Structure 1
Amino acid sequence: MGAMRFVAAAMSLWICFGIVGVASDASDHRYNAGDPVPLYANKVGPFHNPSETYRYFDLPFCSPEHPNEKSEALGEVLNGDRLVDAPYKLDFRVDLDSKLVCKKKLTKEDVAMFRSAVTKDYYFQMYYDDLPLWGFLGKVSREGKTDPSEYKYYLFKHIHFDILYNNDRVIEINANADPNALEDITEDKDIEVEFLYSVKWKETNTPFEKRMEKYSQSSSLPHHLEVHWFSIINSCVTVLLLTGFLATILMRVLKNDFVKYAHDEESAEDQEETGWKYIHGDVFRYPKNKSLFAACIGSGTQLFALTIFIFLLALVGVFYPYNRGALFTALVVIYALTSGIAGYVATNFYCQLEGTNWVRNLLLTGFLFCGPLFLTFSFLNTVAIVYSATAALPFGTILVILLIWALVTSPLLILGGIAGKNSKVEFQAPCRTTKYPREIPPLPWYRTTAPQMVMAGFLPFSAIYIELYYIFASVWGHKIYTIYSILFIVFIILLIVTAFITVALTYFQLAAEDHEWWWRSFLCGGSTGLFIYGYCWYYYYARSDMSGFMQTSFFYGYMACVCYGFFLMLGTIGFRAALFFVRHIYGSIKCE
């Protein structure tokens, strides 16, 4: 209990410090008339490629000689934020009309750079008193022409800021380009551009506490909520029909089996057994590659705990819109602090399976998920470095993550493994296992592993299919997802459907006298992760406008890691449900 209290306290401190680290420089957000308000330029990039972002001053904007960069928390850096003082001065409640930022001489190379950015729909992002604002760099004028070589390209050179305030607090800000202030950048030639900006302040009655609500309103519009609730109702009906169907079938079939086996015991003790009772001496025979199997169960349990903690933080309002880096900070910190769960569960289960090399099992558990994630990150970070994108992590941030892994994740993993080894819990099997395994009878093709995985993954995926689009549009687009309560309900439905379909397929497997159900139940439970990855291909080509090698590699690379995590987590859920079911049915009959 003392160790659990320590972990809980450490988790609370890490989360608090990690998330508080993203607060504004102006800590109380209160200003007097004429006071400077912090305005940071964050990044620029193609609108349809959210991962491909660059530093604001990578483009030849007006900039001071030594722009002051804002120190950032871990989550902000992981999110690709690189905040630097913006060239605009927006003092509190000070109206400005066409103030000159600078006269900038653009070379041919600068013009070509801006034209390329306008062609790719580049946008910029800034933060004003921790409020996000966006704008496009320019526009393309086609004027009915179909030949791209005849298009006209224009750069916006005048930005107007509309700012709302309530007493001494900033409530809202919007940035709009003046459509009449354009600079023609169609041709490669040296030009001089006057960059201008203007500011208009207006009073509002909106309280400071509700200033972030406008960013979450799009996800809670009536038609969006209608679709969300339709998704929930559809999933609930699926769950009710599935669970009712399976419960009815399994209860009726099992009841008949129990009656049949009881009658067989009374009538003829030497009568040959058939069905799932026939393999009672093999059903609890330990699986092949039990060290890997135990590592999968341990890693899946840790990822399940991580997901639950993230949902708890989301439901209490920690991840409000544009709380920069809070989610990434929480993911890193909670994953590090839950590594002890993976070590304990994996080693404890491995020892229950009479494994002897628990140290190797612990190492395998530690690298089972982190290993592929690290390799993927190394490749994608190299791609980001080649592109000079903000997604490339600085050396200092990489060092911090390695220190967290070395000083927090690894020690907790080892402590959990030692605790799991010393718990001395024996595997609970209601039947004795025979010395030699029975031969598995030939099975039709649809009872093999691959078809069973397809059947097992389709129903859980169909229950979450509608909600997946909104999640993808938030993670890989510019939509905002804030209805975490609905997402949590969908997650619970996913777990229930996964457990029930795995139990059903396990019963049919045992009824066919196939006793190698351990790995099968894990693979069937985790197969939903493969369906989600298949949905990635559909979303990329049919529902998004992402393009380019960097964005494509980031999308498929990191989604592969996410789906692999879902595979481990849902595989663990499926196996645990199947294990509970198998123990129950074999504990309910008399086995010699």
Structure 2
Amino acid sequence: MHFDCRFNSALAFVAFFFATTHAFYIPGISTKTYSTGESIPLLVNKVHSSKTQLQYAYAELPFVCPSTGKKRPGSPWTSGTTLSLNLGEVLRGDRITVSDYELVMGKDEDARLLCEVEANEAAVQRGIELIRDGYVAEWIVDNLPGATSFVTADKTKKYYAAGFKMGHDEIDKQGQPHYFLNNHVTLQILYRNAPGREGEQGKKVIVGFEVYPKSVEAGNRDKKGIPKNLDNPKKGLELDLKSDSNGEPNTMKIPYTYSVYFKEDKNLEWSNRWDMYFVNQDDSSRVHWFAIINSLIICGLLTAIVAVILARTIRGDIAAGAKDTESGGIRMRRRKSMRKSTDNGILSEPDAAEEVDDNDDIPLEEITGWKLLHGDVFRPPTQGGLLAPLIGSGMQLMFMAIGLVLLSCLGILNPSFRGGFISVGFALFIFAGVFSGYYSARVYKTFGGEQWRKNVLVHLQTATLVPGLVFAITFILNFFVWGQASSTAIPFSTLLALVALWLLIQLPLVYFGSYYGFTHVGAWEHPIKTNAIARQIPASSWNTTGRTVQTVLLAGLIPFAVIFVELLFVFKNMWQDKTGYYYVFGFMAVVGVILLLTIVEVTIVAVYMRLCAENHHWHWYAFFVGGASSAWVFAYCIWFFFMNLHITGFVSGLLFFSYSFLACAVYGLLTGTVGFLAAYAFVRRIYAAIKID
């Protein structure tokens, strides 16, 4: 009964935690209000597709209306003005520009001509390529992305998908494709009275922005350029250039028109206006709960195994054949003379007839299993100077990940804060350089590092390991993306700013943390001294390289089983549904905690089995076991690419696999650090129970 109460309380806490994080995904930021007749700027951002990783700035497309530079009364911007963006917006490929579309609060426009573009062959061909690849345009009004509305299968709910299609294609009877450009948009602005005194003064707030695109033929228009039959056009605007009698290509006239309608919606609050973008995702809540239950079952089984190891096996090993001392552990005594010194200085084997003095203690020769490694288990690992900065960088990533998840659960990071997740992530990563240097220095000194020059080299590796890898790969990829004239390419000025943040802010923070950790705190103390001569590792199947690799991969499969369901939603949001927004950070936080617990338990079991095989090389082994699930995640990325995505083009494929590799490397570094620290704490705990004279 006691167990049932605790289990029900845990479930209640998880449910409360999720409900809380779900309710606060939108913070109470200041509300923008509009008076009747006030101008509303419409911003154009970019076009993107699920078939490619290349994005393009909408205002730079050759077949859309160029900016006129017109300034509207009451608006702080002129058309064509490019807005300044935060770091996250730049890195995600946003390029936001003020458009020439005129929106006035409360004023409907049945039809209005925006412009007429004279498109040449290159511009028409560009439009055909974007339509063929399924590109979607992203516009913004009052920080809301223009949405295409849908209805759920049971027709009970309406939901939004951010963006609208650039056009559509049709296949004729001969099997030839024809591409039609959406050159008319109907914009519907949903509004309601502003809360408080501003609402009493007649001011409004925008709670929805819907876009309904349509393809309308260039002909059959009045003198103002307005189609005579806008509601049901007989033909669409097909992108097709035919040569004239001289064989020279013609240009094509593309008229752009738009309609604007304002509709009051009293049922939707301003604070909940993003809910429409998430209605379709709410239907997957059951799957998220299934992922949590699946994770809890796996973690529960591992917890039982670890409990058996800690409570029975290890305690039994410590207590077997030994008289408990006041400290509760085995007291093992060394022989007075394990070897004798001969006249020539060579150590000889001890006398077989020599007796031990204390019959209450256990001679070391009678100890078996992991206890035999008491003099070697804390021996510094090979290449410890590389493992130390890896651990430091892993702790830096850990602090960044925890900060991002907490801020997202509290609603501070949300879709209305465009680019905020990436920007805040960079800030947290740079600030966490202090923790990176601190843990790197302490681990390095624990491994016996004393030389200042080598210590400086370790600090330098810590400060450059993760940022250097990410910057190098991103810089190389940028050459490919620049060649495609894509907005995904990072501007050179932004690259210089990132280098400045790295060298001028993060690097000093790493050195400060390293100095404090190395000088003022120092190394962790070990409960047992290390022998001068290393013990020979017995030859067994457990200690072979091939068996070690198999064991590491098998251990990594268990944490992967905890997260693979939630990974499907993350991948779908990142690579497939680019018009959607991932917001269920409550589920992610719960699954993340279970993942870390699973990694801790798997690493403890794996290290214990390795010590039982009398192999004292556990440091790197624990790190690789902790990070082994990253190999399965990368394999999952490959499966997702070929089975779920329809990405075409060499550059797009290169971007997918490069970014996937970086993400998996970062994930593996973080989880590997968790595994190492858990194993280190476990090893110190079990050997602290052994007293050596």
Equivalent-residue separation in structure 2 for 1:377 and 1:123 (angstroms): 25
Alignment correspondent of 2:9: none
Q: 2:568 aligns with which of 459, 469, 472?
A: 469
**Aligned ranges 1:191-230 → 2 under 5 Å:** 191-205=252-266, 206-221=268-283, 224-230=284-290
CA deviations on 1:435-491 (whole Å, 9 max, x unpaired) are 111111112168632112112210000000000011111222323211111100100
TM-fit CA distance, 1:376? 0.8
Alignment correspondent of 2:475: 378
- With normalisation by structure 1, the TM-score equals 0.91
TM-fit CA distance, 1:504? 0.3
Q: 2:318 aligns with which of 258, 283, 286?
A: 258
The one-letter amino acid paired with 1:516 is: H
Q: 1:295 aligns with which of 378, 384, 389?
A: 389
Secondary structure at the residue paired with 1:164? strand
> 1:213 and 1:156, CA in 2 relative to 1: closer, same or farther beyond 3 A?
same
Asked if 1:30 is matched to 2:33, the reply is yes
CA deviations on 1:36-76 (whole Å, 9 max, x unpaired) are 11211101233433553344322320112552211222221
Which consecutive unaligned segments of at least 5 residues does structure 2 have?
Answer: 1-27, 70-79, 147-162, 194-203, 216-232, 243-249, 324-329, 333-359
TM-fit CA distance, 1:28? 4.8
Secondary structure at the residue paired with 2:137? strand
Q: Is the 8 A contact 1:526 1:570 kept in 2?
A: yes
Alignment correspondent of 1:401: 498
TM-fit CA distance, 1:314? 0.5
> 1:571 and 1:500, CA in 2 relative to 1: closer, same or farther beyond 3 A?
same
TM-fit CA distance, 1:141? 0.5
Q: 2:186 aligns with which of 149, 160, 168?
A: 160
Q: Is the 8 A contact 1:101 1:196 kept in 2?
A: yes
CA deviations on 1:474-516 (whole Å, 9 max, x unpaired) are 2223232111111001000110000001000101100000010
Equivalent-residue separation in structure 1 for 2:114 and 2:88 (angstroms): 32
The one-letter amino acid paired with 2:420 is: A
Q: Is the 8 A contact 1:346 1:417 kept in 2?
A: yes
CA deviations on 1:57-99 (whole Å, 9 max, x unpaired) are 2232011255221122222111211011223212212111121
CA deviations on 1:540-565 (whole Å, 9 max, x unpaired) are 11122222222222221122112111
> 1:557 and 1:270, CA in 2 relative to 1: closer, same or farther beyond 3 A?
closer
Secondary structure at the residue paired with 1:457? helix
Alignment correspondent of 2:379: 285
Alignment correspondent of 1:317: 411
Asked if 1:63 is matched to 2:66, the reply is yes
Asked if 1:351 is matched to 2:448, the reply is no
Alignment correspondent of 2:517: 420
Asked if 1:429 is matched to 2:526, the reply is yes
The one-letter amino acid paired with 1:182 is: G
Asked if 1:237 is matched to 2:334, the reply is no
Equivalent-residue separation in structure 1 for 2:254 and 2:380 (angstroms): 74
The one-letter amino acid paired with 1:335 is: F
TM-fit CA distance, 1:260? 2.4
TM-fit CA distance, 1:187? 4.2
**Aligned ranges 1:477-492 → 2 under 5 Å:** 477=576, 478=578, 479-492=580-593
Equivalent-residue separation in structure 2 for 1:414 and 1:268 (angstroms): 47
Alignment correspondent of 1:452: 551
The one-letter amino acid paired with 1:175 is: V
Q: Is the 8 A contact 1:156 1:177 kept in 2?
A: yes
Q: Is the 8 A contact 1:348 1:423 kept in 2?
A: no
> 1:524 and 1:270, CA in 2 relative to 1: closer, same or farther beyond 3 A?
closer
> 1:408 and 1:199, CA in 2 relative to 1: closer, same or farther beyond 3 A?
same
Q: Is the 8 A contact 2:542 2:613 kept in 1?
A: no
Overall identity of the aligned pairs, in %: 29
Secondary structure at the residue paired with 2:684? helix
Equivalent-residue separation in structure 1 for 2:170 and 2:364 (angstroms): 89
CA deviations on 1:555-582 (whole Å, 9 max, x unpaired) are 2112211211111111111111111111
Asked if 1:546 is matched to 2:644, the reply is no
Asked if 1:42 is matched to 2:57, the reply is no
Equivalent-residue separation in structure 1 for 2:311 and 2:444 (angstroms): 32
The one-letter amino acid paired with 2:554 is: M
Q: Is the 8 A contact 1:234 1:463 kept in 2?
A: yes
TM-fit CA distance, 1:309? 0.7
Secondary structure at the residue paired with 1:537? helix
Secondary structure at the residue paired with 1:254? helix
CA deviations on 1:381-429 (whole Å, 9 max, x unpaired) are 2222111111112222222222222221111111111111212434321
Q: Is the 8 A contact 1:124 1:135 kept in 2?
A: yes
Which structure has the larger Rg over C-alpha atoms?
Answer: 2
Asked if 1:537 is matched to 2:673, the reply is no
Equivalent-residue separation in structure 2 for 1:261 and 1:386 (angstroms): 73
Equivalent-residue separation in structure 2 for 1:97 and 1:385 (angstroms): 41
Equivalent-residue separation in structure 1 for 2:417 and 2:561 (angstroms): 32
The one-letter amino acid paired with 1:550 is: V
Equivalent-residue separation in structure 2 for 1:404 and 1:274 (angstroms): 53
Equivalent-residue separation in structure 2 for 1:443 and 1:243 (angstroms): 28
TM-fit CA distance, 1:112? 1.5
Q: Is the 8 A contact 2:370 2:611 kept in 1?
A: yes
Asked if 1:508 is matched to 2:589, the reply is no
Equivalent-residue separation in structure 2 for 1:75 and 1:507 (angstroms): 43
Secondary structure at the residue paired with 2:112? strand
Equivalent-residue separation in structure 1 for 2:365 and 2:673 (angstroms): 37
More displaced 10-residue stretch of structure 1: 58-67 or 228-237:
58-67
Equivalent-residue separation in structure 2 for 1:586 and 1:47 (angstroms): 54
The one-letter amino acid paired with 2:569 is: Y
> 1:305 and 1:428, CA in 2 relative to 1: closer, same or farther beyond 3 A?
same
CA deviations on 1:350-407 (whole Å, 9 max, x unpaired) are 1222212210110011112112111111012222211111111222222222222222
Alignment correspondent of 2:145: 132
Equivalent-residue separation in structure 2 for 1:54 and 1:545 (angstroms): 22
Alignment correspondent of 2:7: none
The one-letter amino acid paired with 2:398 is: F
Secondary structure at the residue paired with 1:583? helix
TM-fit CA distance, 1:190? 2.5
Secondary structure at the residue paired with 1:169? strand
TM-fit CA distance, 1:126? 0.9
- With normalisation by structure 2, the TM-score equals 0.78
Secondary structure at the residue paired with 1:431? coil
CA deviations on 1:273-311 (whole Å, 9 max, x unpaired) are 321111111111011111111111111111111111111
> 1:159 and 1:80, CA in 2 relative to 1: closer, same or farther beyond 3 A?
same
Runs of 4+ in 1 over 3 A off after TM superposition: 50-56, 186-189, 263-268, 445-448
Equivalent-residue separation in structure 2 for 1:268 and 1:230 (angstroms): 52
Q: Is the 8 A contact 1:162 1:201 kept in 2?
A: yes
The one-letter amino acid paired with 1:586 is: Y
Alignment correspondent of 1:3: none
Q: Is the 8 A contact 1:301 1:569 kept in 2?
A: yes
More displaced 10-residue stretch of structure 1: 462-471 or 38-47:
38-47
Alignment correspondent of 1:17: none
**CA-atom RMSD, angstroms?**
2.1
Q: Is the 8 A contact 2:38 2:105 kept in 1?
A: yes
Q: 2:107 aligns with which of 94, 100, 120?
A: 94
> 1:276 and 1:58, CA in 2 relative to 1: closer, same or farther beyond 3 A?
same
TM-fit CA distance, 1:245? 2.4
Kindly indicate which of the two structures has a greater share of residues assigned to helix.
1
Q: Is the 8 A contact 1:44 1:124 kept in 2?
A: yes
Equivalent-residue separation in structure 2 for 1:64 and 1:52 (angstroms): 20
Secondary structure at the residue paired with 1:391? coil
Equivalent-residue separation in structure 2 for 1:483 and 1:29 (angstroms): 26
Alignment correspondent of 1:173: 209
TM-fit CA distance, 1:261? 4.9
